[in-house]
Chain A
């Protein structure tokens, strides 16, 4: 097991790369979690800048508008998705809501009634959702004989009583915890991508150095044995890096794990790690140049993470960007983290896509390695 041992030894000699990425990650996480804290404190206080597009023009919708106006500043907007996304991206509006034409009917039917664009990264963005839900909850209570008692609703809202607003799957109660985990794991994806490619690539470029590989070739070490130990080394390293993030998530937020669907994040991260391990296999079969590898590590991780919604939520990215993102496993990884689900089968497609990427990377890598052997 000398090869295995020295694989890990050389990896450890490059530990600064891992340490650097992991420190950046935890500094970001720490900043993010103080943000999340603020989010909770500031729940009822902050006035947000919101845009409202009212296509319903009903009694109910104008009453909602009045209520929101009391609590927030209204900014002008227009009904154009690109325009709205830009307003939010540029922080002109914290949220934009669209009240559909059939708003009243939807409320009566207890269907999803309002479209909200918001920046999930903003500590207060959840507040607007809460206000709307509160309003609609009261409105629903007062609905009788085809009529809303909007006057009562207004009074009730003024009373500022502690109202428990329930929505599907208890999402709002846990939203800030859920959000924390979402960002934590999305960002973990970025770091794993960068660290795997960089560290495994750098170690492999040492082993694949022609002069050193020639010494291996003339030795009595069987190629199969050698490869086994090398890949065992890669796997060990990968598991170690991924475990750091899993363990840290438990250490930091372990007390909330019971409140969320933690297993989703766990399985998603493992499948994602596998696909990235296969990606590094492919890269290592294409090049053994250290500079190319470190550049690829930075460009691929930052690039594909950004367009896949790690830094900016997917809802705020253009369709064309997301179309490109679909060619990277990060996209599916982020989708699963962002999805509100009750069972893994709801994200089977996204899981499958990541496995598919893993297989494709593996096959391509094998193809390149065959080609390299022939020369």
Chain B
């Protein structure tokens, strides 16, 4: 186990930011920490990294207790903080070199690592730029380069794609996959479901400082009762017929959204063909009909009772 967080409680004056929070990270995985704004993602990372003291609980990194003086553990860790954290008075290359120098003394190794990091984030044409001259997306890439330049085994990325255009976002996500393929364990916080779904092997869903569920995407989706939704719009339908639809196997609920009906099923097998038979039987005319498999949003909605959307 690379990281183990057990029952950690962190209070800011009145506010409880982490409420008996648990988390386990296995070597080689990309773990997503998914939760809405203010749920405690950054706080959790800062506690793991000993940037913050916590009130209760236990944190281990690489099997050892993490303290501010655990320099050999720190050597293996990289952080890409949520806010861009670079010197405004240093150029792209100087920034990367400085932060690399906090880990690596050898000049030649450092030169090589800096080159590789610049290459990695695609800032080759911007090495002499000052951060204020970079676009938002490029600044984020610089922020990433400063965090990973020393080739850490364990990388924390705290919402690295917030306020980033689609192009840079894809570039960043691909980069993270690459880091992972090269052997780094990644902890990725986000409140974008699609990103978590696309990137992560495993996800921990967080809300109000608690870990409310964890598992692979399939495991998480299996936790909820609605496993398929079919949206359909009929040309003309009577209430009586609608009531009869509850007889279709596995239907648990039917919601009306304007002229659309959302039919929820409790498992995901043959629902569409069952519905189509029903339509044929009652001679109904439909103008649209499509099936939706559950998303993480549905999982989140069912577990917390609220939507996870911007």
A220 within 8 A of B: yes
- Option from B72, B77, B97 in Cβ contact (under 8 Å) with A218: B77
A92 within 8 A of B: no
- Binary flags per residue of A6-20, CB closer than 8 Å to B gives 1, else 0: 100110011000000
Q: Pick out which of these stretches binds chain B: A70-78, A206-214, A310-318.
A: A206-214
> Known interface pairs A14-B89, A215-B102, A216-B102. Does A2 touch B81 (Cβ–Cβ under 8 Å)?
no
Q: How many Å from the CB of B157 to the closest CB on chain A?
A: 13
CB < 8 Å A-B pair total? 68
Which chain A residue has the least Cβ–Cβ distance from B75?
Answer: A220
Q: How many Å from the CB of B253 to the closest CB on chain A?
A: 48
Q: B89, A2: Cβ atoms under 8 Å?
A: no
Contacting B at CB under 8 A, from A198-243, are: 206, 209, 211-212, 214-222
Report the separation of the CA atoms of residues A14 and B72 in the bound assembly, to the nearest whole angstrom: 35
Q: Using Cβ atoms and an 8 Å threshold, which residues of chain B touch A9?
A: 90, 94
Q: Using Cβ atoms and an 8 Å threshold, which residues of chain B touch A300?
A: none
Q: Using Cβ atoms and an 8 Å threshold, which residues of chain B touch A132?
A: none
Report the separation of the CA atoms of residues A14 and B88 in the bound assembly, to the nearest whole angstrom: 12
B86 within 8 A of A: yes
- Binary flags per residue of B93-127, CB closer than 8 Å to A gives 1, else 0: 01001111111010000100000000000000000
Interface of B is mostly: loop
Q: B75, A2: Cβ atoms under 8 Å?
A: no
Give the most central of A209, A217, A222: most B CB within 10 Å: A217
Report the separation of the CA atoms of residues A33 and B118 in the bound assembly, to the nearest whole angstrom: 54
Which chain B residue has the least Cβ–Cβ distance from A14?
Answer: B89
B25 within 8 A of A: no
B51 within 8 A of A: yes
Q: Using Cβ atoms and an 8 Å threshold, which residues of chain A touch B71?
A: 220, 222
How large, as a class, is the contact surface on chain B?
Answer: 20 to 34
A296 within 8 A of B: no
Q: How many Å from the CB of B200 to the closest CB on chain A?
A: 23
Q: Using Cβ atoms and an 8 Å threshold, which residues of chain A touch B147?
A: 215
Q: Using Cβ atoms and an 8 Å threshold, which residues of chain A touch B99?
A: 215, 219
B74 within 8 A of A: yes
A344 within 8 A of B: no
- Option from B72, B77, B85, B94 in Cβ contact (under 8 Å) with A211: B85
Q: Using Cβ atoms and an 8 Å threshold, which residues of chain A touch B89?
A: 10, 13-14, 206
A3 within 8 A of B: yes
Contacting B at CB under 8 A, from A242-296, are: none
Which chain A residue has the least Cβ–Cβ distance from B99?
Answer: A215
Report the separation of the CA atoms of residues A207 and B84 in the bound assembly, to the nearest whole angstrom: 15
Give the most central of A5, A14, A215, A221: most B CB within 10 Å: A215
- Option from A2, A214, A220 in Cβ contact (under 8 Å) with B85: A214
B83 within 8 A of A: yes
Report the separation of the CA atoms of residues A212 and B84 in the bound assembly, to the nearest whole angstrom: 9
Report the separation of the CA atoms of residues A222 and B81 in the bound assembly, to the nearest whole angstrom: 20
Q: B90, A6: Cβ atoms under 8 Å?
A: yes
Q: B101, A218: Cβ atoms under 8 Å?
A: no
Q: B72, A215: Cβ atoms under 8 Å?
A: no
Q: Using Cβ atoms and an 8 Å threshold, which residues of chain A touch B172?
A: none
Which chain B residue has the least Cβ–Cβ distance from A216?
Answer: B102
Contacting A at CB under 8 A, from B230-278, are: none
B146 within 8 A of A: yes
B68 within 8 A of A: yes
Q: B101, A2: Cβ atoms under 8 Å?
A: yes
Beyond A13-B89, A214-B51, A218-B50, 15 extra complex contacts between A and B, CB < 8 Å: A2-B98, A2-B101, A2-B102, A2-B110, A9-B90, A9-B94, A206-B87, A209-B85, A211-B83, A212-B86, A214-B85, A215-B99, A215-B146, A218-B79, A220-B71
Shortest 9 CB-CB distances between A and B: which pairs?
A2-B101, A211-B85, A219-B102, A220-B75, A221-B102, A220-B74, A220-B71, A218-B49, A6-B98
